Amino acid sequence: MQQFSVAEMARQQLLKAAKAIKLPKAIVTVLGCPKRVLRVNFPIQMDDGTIRCFTGYRCQYNDSRGPTKGGVRYHPGVTEDEVIALAAWMTWKCALVDLPYGGAKGGVICDPLALSERELEKITRRFTTEIMPVLGPNKDIPAPDVFTTSKTMAWMMDTFSMFAGHTEPAVVTGKPEVLGGSKGRKEATGRGVMITTRELCARINLPLAGARVAVQGFGNVGSHAALFLSELGAKIVAVSDSSTGFVNADGLDVPGLAACIERHRCLAPYRGHGRKVSRDVILYQDVDILIPAALENQIRKDNASRIKAKVVSEGANGPTAPEADAILEKKGIHVIPDILANSGGVIVSHFEWVQALSGMYWEEDEVNQRLEKKLIASFGQVWRKAQELKISLRTAAYCVALERIASVYQYRGIFP
Ligand code: NAD
């Protein structure tokens, strides 16, 4: 059930934070609309010989702090509105964790689970070609998102390189390591969810050892967050993906579930310990920590009162609608906002870009240490801002991000 347009949701969050820090009206005007939205339609010959037309988007929301950065999503529900909202969130996220990037996002309307690998490769290569004029290591740098992987990034990088006439590893991040991908990138977003959750739990005296955790969306982000939290002693008692859900009050076998995903791309064939349930009940489990790690608009006005968790750690982008935010706040639930909780991915993407540009590659320990340091510092800033202004962590995160972007405009001005 979609109550809010997601772009409207992003706009409301921006306005709320702008009010809290009295952001100048001119800056709110500038940040209220995307710089560029490219829509492309392109034909693909399918495996059965028929021709189908696909639609894709790339939105570059704001590039005042540097080249734009953001994932590419393959999903039947991709819309221009969604891509704009996701690109706006990328802009705030990069500013919040102080990366020299603006925000972007892209997507192709398709059902990747119903497409062959050959068809996915053709879609990726053609989509890359269509958006090529706005791509580049100093312009806009894609990364994986929902239903895209390191393989998708390898196809994008190869296609871009073929047209450039030289190999260009810095044009995408989240690549396989043999192509210049960073060690630790695949796990980075889930690791970041774990780090920010750990930082919050330490401040609210919620021990992670024995804490019960539910994960909605057992994909890249959700499965890694579950793995890292279980390493700290948390018990993963409920998980779901688009195909099904599993619960077990004694704790699920997280590596077993991850192996099922690796093999079958979904949880439906999983036969380990745990009771099979509808995917939609996972949000309402009696747990300490809920990690929505699927899609946006999952916690809304109509279901927010059913959330029992003490902490919601937003692995996904935009899982909580603004009206639901108010309900969670009233219930005393701590929400670690998406732009902080899932920023580990773009932080290590930045490390990957730096490594590709310099040709010097780092050991995994170094990547993880730098990630940890940046996230602890960012969490601390947001926490202090929230305490100082008596506002939610989400509004505080927006305040830190918007102040940073606003100060760039102070020096750059508005051209011409
Ligand atoms: P993914 O494709 O690996 O995983 C998405 C998962 O969500 C899949 O398991 C899918 O089956 C599941 N899902 C879809 N609809 C569902 C539903 N209604 N109920 C339950 N599960 C459902 O994608 P991902 O990269 O893990 O991304 C997940 C979220 O995290 C997205 O919002 C994405 O924008 C965000 N994110 C990803 C990264 C990253 O580095 N991959 C970084 C930051 C944010």
Cα torsion at 390, 392, 394, 398 (round to 10°)?
A: -20
Instruction: Map 32-99 to HEC letters.
Output: CCCCEEEEEEEEEECCCCCEEEEEEEEEEEECCCCCEEEEEEEECCCCHHHHHHHHHHHHHHHHHCCC
Span 41-65, pLDDT tens digits = 999 999 999 999 999 999 999 999 9
What is the arithmetic mean of pLDDT over 214-224?
A: 97
Span 322-379, pLDDT tens digits = 999 999 999 999 999 999 999 999 999 999 999 999 999 999 999 999 999 999 999 9
Distance 9 CA to ligand 1 centre (A): 19
By most ligand atoms within 8 Å of CB, the mutation choice from 91, 242, 349 for ligand 1 is 242
Distance 241 CA to ligand 1 centre (A): 9
Q: How many CA atoms lie within 13 A of 368 on its CB side?
A: 12
Beta strands in 100-256 (DSSP E): 102-109, 140-144, 212-216, 235-240, 245-247
Q: What is the pLDDT of residue 153?
A: 98
Q: Which amino acid is at 324?
A: A
User: What residues flank ligand 1, with Cβ below 6 Å?
Assistant: 71, 144-147, 189, 216-222, 240-242, 279, 293-295, 315-317, 342, 345
Q: What is the pLDDT of residue 310?
A: 98
Measured CA to CA, the distance from residue 228 to residue 239 in angstroms comes to 15
Q: Is 176 exposed, middle or buried (0-12, 13-18, 19+ CB in 10 A)?
A: middle
pLDDT at 396 over 90: yes
Question: Predicted confidence band at 3 (pLDDT cuts at 50, 70, 90)?
Answer: low
By most ligand atoms within 8 Å of CB, the mutation choice from 2, 299, 342 for ligand 1 is 342
- Residues in CB range of 124: below 8 A, 6 or more apart: 152, 155, 156, 159
Span 149-177, pLDDT tens digits = 999 999 999 999 999 999 999 999 999 99
What ligand 1 atom has the least distance to the C-alpha of 346? 42
Measured CA to CA, the distance from residue 13 to residue 3 in angstroms comes to 15
Q: What is the pLDDT of residue 5?
A: 86
Selecting among 16, 22, 25, 105, the annotated active-site residue is 105
What ligand 1 atom has the least distance to the C-alpha of 295? 32
Distance 220 CA to ligand 1 centre (A): 7
89, 16 in Cβ contact below 8 A?
A: no
Distance 13 CA to ligand 1 centre (A): 22
Query: How many Cβ atoms are within 10 Å of 273's Cβ, its own excluded?
Result: 12
Question: Predicted confidence band at 2 (pLDDT cuts at 50, 70, 90)?
Answer: very low
By most ligand atoms within 8 Å of CB, the mutation choice from 91, 101, 145 for ligand 1 is 145
Nearest Cα to 98, choosing from 338, 358, 340, 391? Answer: 340
Q: What is the pLDDT of residue 221?
A: 97
Both tokens assigned to 308: 């029992």
pLDDT at 1 over 50: no
Span 258-296, pLDDT tens digits = 999 999 989 999 999 899 999 999 999 999 999 999 999
Span 183-208, pLDDT tens digits = 999 999 999 999 999 999 999 999 99
What ligand 1 atom has the least distance to the C-alpha of 86? 34
Q: What is the mean pLDDT of the chain?
A: 96
Is 105 among the catalytic positions?
A: yes
Residues in the chain: 416
Q: What is the pLDDT of residue 4?
A: 67
Span 102-140, pLDDT tens digits = 999 999 999 999 999 999 999 999 999 999 999 999 999
